[in-house]
Structure 1
């Protein structure tokens, strides 16, 4: 219990008649949670080897995969997979996991040198092979890296089915490289598999990124941690989101423990801190009278049935405007960040679908939010796809589609970048 802390940040004061209680819960794990740094772990590295990966992208992808293998600690089970229209074992050459050590690392790097480009992109088949490899191993910490330079060629139904089968089994960090990948697809993988999503145009950055991902995975000491939320009778959970260090919507991942208790998966942990935004709507028939305090939610950090930490979300009704209108800095900050990310994703999706009215409105709102929060880099990237007439009011005009791939990929990078958040100091 001493190694896990759950802190609740909120303004508990609500105006008379209000029913929505918001809070940010900061979960911090010290170095003593779970077993030592040698926790049984497994890693699967998936490299896109489709035809478009030829040339410098594949050269840098080989280097990055080799660095990833070198970064694995001794004893970690691992495999390297080549992804095209299907998934193929690169190392080992049979469908199993090897154990990291000097000999297997050398053999894996030798096999990686022979990766060749050809074929299409069907990401669901890559994830399915990773799932089968993980299922055959008993490691507690299961992590995967997925690298692609293109858009998935499978039907949405097939892709979604593969992701559904992989949920809860392993964490996957998704990466795009080059100029043709889809941020929406990378985000879908990250959301389903509780990982991160990122992208870059220049493949020269892959080595450092792969090393960082493996180092982070090797720092995990325990998996299967959940955020358990109790709410009073008649209450509705509006949403549960991880909001730092990256935005992940966990709302649809709830598993009911009872009618009033639900578990939300929060993945594998090392010594780290993350923030979660909870929003609960209370039953109007049960809200308190003036000055009365009620419990809006009880939050627990749970591993199995072991409660590691607890926090309370309160509601106090007041007629003092100074109290009820006071914004908690963390709640306000993360609310704005989540809205920005949603506005960019929805705007780009509408642009892709040819809905210029929705695209203009949502991207205009994104420019306004990015300006308010001082994210000038995001405004600059969005300015590649919209003509910014007034950043403060979000008045923009959608630009015509360009043949320049840099324009589209900059917008995709802006979409991914909007999911990464900074933390503000508490009140």
Structure 2
């Protein structure tokens, strides 16, 4: 059974000034050695398929305006189905104000083969556009389909919509998310510009997936193919970041900071005395960064303590957990001003990346409400950080919304006639980060 090997590296400045209490560290988690297409390492009994995928396609009435949207959605779903490797369990759901199983249609998941992929592609022709949008019903049906194969641990959804969740109250969607969180992951895509970034991000965040915009329908097929390739690369599910802290210390926050900013603080589940688990989802060959902030009791100069023990853990069928890798976060109190005031370069970098994401979202919201001074200030700050940290992708997206006068100082002017697609693309991708340049 092939699975990744995990490594944990800790980057921090362990030196604190006399009386200081906050310890910050960047935890880099790397997984290597997952053989593509190999049998996954499962957190429950392994049998049969090593992964399951449910594709949820919006078929509300708006998908017919223009008609190319639905045609491209069908083509994109077909491309994703073609990317499924043999043996993977899968299903296709058509969603509007309710959810319908298009394939296989018997309440359980099909097993990918040349025959079932062909049958699924033919079934896509049945999808027609009508009705409204209730994303919670789509997720509920996907969850039911995954539950039909409880022995499969790697469960992934792909969700496409072109509109707002208008036929479902926010509380109803939240109730569904609360129920299915932890049962499967999901990547979400919005096609066109009539959907809400914050709404789709709520779904992708709860389900530890990605969110992105496909402004033009003809870009869907390549995007779906890429998402499915990513899903097929996963080899281990339900890995958690366990943070143990000593007596009188408390975890202030845990955030994923690469490849996207995602606050995991509220996702903690208790894992024994002074320890908590934070979900990280499924892994293939990849590397991610997490920012862990711990508040410790103040101590006199010369004292040293273990501020946190960071472990990667995997649940086992018998209820125990296996430690995949581990790292230590230290605190040393000093009266050397140079040591205690030096900010670790990785901590500083990712703190800036998280701030940049907030500035972009706040700036775009200010622009929507007509507060141009606030929008200019916030987006200017984002430009400055993007320039300083070498986040060229975000810098280019910002340039479609503002004219950059001085990138170093963050001096900008709001552009006139900014397209909705450019604004939504910037907002959707605002949380994407880059690593420190070597």
In structure 1, how many angstroms separate the alpha carbons of the residues matched to 2:337 and 2:73?
57
Alpha-carbon contact 2:391-2:434 (below 8 Å) kept: no
> Where do residues 241-320 of structure 1 align in structure 2 (5 Å cutoff)?
241-283=255-297, 287-304=298-315, 305-320=321-336
> Where do residues 126-275 of structure 1 align in structure 2 (5 Å cutoff)?
126-138=138-150, 139-153=152-166, 154-275=168-289
* Residue 16 (structure 1) aligns with: 18
> Displacement of 1:93 after TM fit?
2.4
In structure 2, how many angstroms separate the alpha carbons of the residues matched to 1:127 and 1:346?
29
In structure 1, how many angstroms separate the alpha carbons of the residues matched to 2:220 and 2:4?
38
Alpha-carbon contact 2:361-2:430 (below 8 Å) kept: no
**Equivalent residue for 2:358, pick from 316, 320, 342:** 342
> Displacement of 1:261 after TM fit?
0.7
* Residue 54 (structure 2) aligns with: 44
In structure 1, how many angstroms separate the alpha carbons of the residues matched to 2:149 and 2:372?
49
Alpha-carbon contact 2:391-2:433 (below 8 Å) kept: no
Q: Is the partner of 1:194 in helix, strand or coil?
A: coil
Q: Is the partner of 2:107 in helix, strand or coil?
A: coil
> Displacement of 1:101 after TM fit?
1.2
Q: Is the partner of 1:113 in helix, strand or coil?
A: helix
Q: Deviations over 1:73-101 (max 9, x none)?
A: 11211110111111111112233211111
In structure 2, how many angstroms separate the alpha carbons of the residues matched to 1:32 and 1:87?
35
In structure 2, how many angstroms separate the alpha carbons of the residues matched to 1:212 and 1:95?
27
Normalization by structure 1: what TM-score?
A: 0.90
Q: Is the partner of 1:420 in helix, strand or coil?
A: coil
In the alignment, structure 1 segments of 5+ residues that lack a partner are none
In structure 1, how many angstroms separate the alpha carbons of the residues matched to 2:90 and 2:279?
24
1:98 corresponds to 2:110: yes
In structure 2, how many angstroms separate the alpha carbons of the residues matched to 1:236 and 1:397?
43
In structure 2, how many angstroms separate the alpha carbons of the residues matched to 1:281 and 1:34?
41
> Kindly tell me: are residues 162 and 346 of structure 1, through their superposed partners in 2, closer, same or farther at Cα, counting changes over 3 Å?
farther
In the alignment, structure 2 segments of 5+ residues that lack a partner are 41-48, 316-320
> Kindly tell me: are residues 235 and 388 of structure 1, through their superposed partners in 2, closer, same or farther at Cα, counting changes over 3 Å?
same
In structure 2, how many angstroms separate the alpha carbons of the residues matched to 1:45 and 1:142?
11
Normalization by structure 2: what TM-score?
A: 0.88
**More displaced stretch, 382-391 vs 54-63:** 382-391
In structure 2, how many angstroms separate the alpha carbons of the residues matched to 1:409 and 1:14?
46
In structure 1, how many angstroms separate the alpha carbons of the residues matched to 2:384 and 2:110?
50
> Displacement of 1:113 after TM fit?
2.5
**More displaced stretch, 368-377 vs 384-393:** 384-393
> Displacement of 1:379 after TM fit?
4.4
Q: How many residues align?
A: 419
